[in-house]
Structure 1
Amino acid sequence: MTAHSPVLEHVHQHTDPATARIVAALGPEAEQMPDLGIPSAAPGRGLSDLVSAEGRAGDLVVVVPMTFGRAPTVIADCARTLRDVRGRTGGARVALAAPLGDATMLVTRLRAVIRRHELGDAAADSVLVVSPGIDPFADAELFRLARLARQYGRPGLVEVAFHGGTEPDPDLAGGLARLDALGSGRPMVVSATLAPAPVTGRDLPGEGEYLLGPAVLRSVIDTRVREAVHRLDHGTAGADGIDAALDAEDGHGYAHSHVAADGSVYTHSH
């Protein structure tokens, strides 16, 4: 008689994503975002207190960084905050979801808005992509993304302006002046963040419009939550996404060196 080894079933925990307490982690791209009724706070003490409170009300808290990746410091700061909160939520699990979006999503959404205003009798002939000023590297990145969004579209002219935030250069008036100087007859204004496109006083196409409307924005957030819950249920150590996100801002900023405890030197960017 042949002995058979017992069959070991691989059982995963299955959590209903609908039971997760969702928290939105705010950053410069989330200023003036639509009100979705989701608790939100910036990384740091505010986020720490909010996650702790939500943990007392449920078994799982999922934090979604509200960035398209242009502000990776928000992601890293979320990770640092949740690393300190983890284990202090009354037994509730805590997970850090992937950020709201990435460069590909941002380009896709910008392109969709541009195409909506490039046809018809009052079609726009140029594009002004607007964001709060974040930092020199995030701001420079927006010029690249705006150029990609314009690719294959009808408007042959695209400019970037910064409305609010840190040292806006060029500011909204400066961006419009550039388009005027280059012969633009009717520019459209497109927001590159979750805020509505600013009102210029010139009644331009796109003013006041969101890049992502409330329904679409909530759908994307729910998708990130489902992904985080699936990863948490099926993963191993680190499945909560917190430790992996601690290095999110590496590669963003000027390269510089650090000296490790053993005297070795390593170089990276922030």
Structure 2
Amino acid sequence: MSVHADPGTHAHTDPATARIVAALGPESEDMPDLGIPSAPPGRGLSDLVAAQGAGGDLVVVVPMTFGRAPAVIADSARTLRDVRGRADGARLALAAPLGDATMLVTRLRAAIRRHPEAASVLVVSPAIDPFADAELFRLARLARQYGHPGLVEVAFHGGSEPDPDLAGGLARLDALGGGRPLLVPATLAPAPVTGRDLPGEGEHLLGPAVLRSIIDTRVREAVHRWDHGAHGPDGPDGPDGSDGIDPALDAEDGHGYAHSHVAADGSVYTHSH
């Protein structure tokens, strides 16, 4: 990046030059191949980020979650914090996650509208954890609101302790008179194949072009934020949080059972994650 011409002006980073890395999690299993370097948080992501940034380019990591797996965000932040600490002057930024609950509900509704003939819908996802799985029931209910059909159920295919599993979800729709249900994935994987030749099988919630467009938007936002802070008095990793890393360390707060901690001064505070 060029030197300031004066205190009020500076050269901006071209988002097209940023090195994009996708941080993987349970919602990104079997996602379309976009040609983007990808790894789960931890050693794999750490090594990948270090390699991508070796030439001095800004590396932007995008957590591949709709927010149901906040551990992907927090663990990505911890990974980048460690890389930042080891590599003095490393140019790193953590983008906002791929999407949020509002986006997921919107995309579920759009997928349902593409099949107006469907008598019922089964929203499918790998099991993540009890809280993420319970959240999917709420989001499926919101996707159903004001739409057609009126019968929308949830099932889990893969992951840890799927409850109900795919067979159980289909059996419930059968018992409720759901006819031939539409399968809609709530993650980046295609809807599973059931052997019943159901509508929606093998279809993605987001096609490759749409998915890449969303990722590029997140990268542009992160580059803009990084640029804004990089030329401020605190630098790119100052208290303004312009690299997005430190603010994301608390992404899991509010997810999970509430519990208490005792601070060094004896005060007690309660939160959940």
Alignment TM-score, normalising by the size of structure 1? 0.93
Counterparts in 2 of 1:1-270, with a 5 A limit? 9-89=7-87, 91-118=89-116, 123-235=117-229, 236=232, 237=238, 238-270=241-273
Secondary structure of 1:164's counterpart equals strand
Letter in 1 for 2:38: S
Q: How many residues align?
A: 259
Whole-Å separation in 2 of the counterparts to 1:162 and 1:150: 18
Corresponding letter in the other structure for 1:201:
G
Task: Give the drift of 1:90.
Answer: 6.8
Deviations 1:86-141 (CA, angstroms, capped at 9, x unpaired): 154474400000000000000000000000012xxxx1100000000000000000
- Retained in 2: the 8 A contact 1:258–1:267? yes
Q: Structure 1: state its 5+ residue gaps.
A: 1-7
* Aligned-pair identity (%): 86
Counterparts of 1:69 and 1:89 in 2: how far apart (Å)? 29
- Per-residue CA deviation, residues 190-244 of structure 1 (Å, 9 max, x unaligned), is 0000000001111111100000000000000000000000001113531000000
Between Structure 1 and Structure 2, whose CA radius of gyration is higher? 1
The match for 2:3 is none
Distance in 1, matches of 2:90 and 2:211, equals: 26
The normalised TM-score by structure 2 is 0.92
Structure 1 segments, 4+ long, off by >2 Å, are 87-92
Measured after TM superposition, the shift of residue 158 of structure 1 is 0.5
Structure 2: tracts of 5 or more residues without a match: 1-5, 233-237
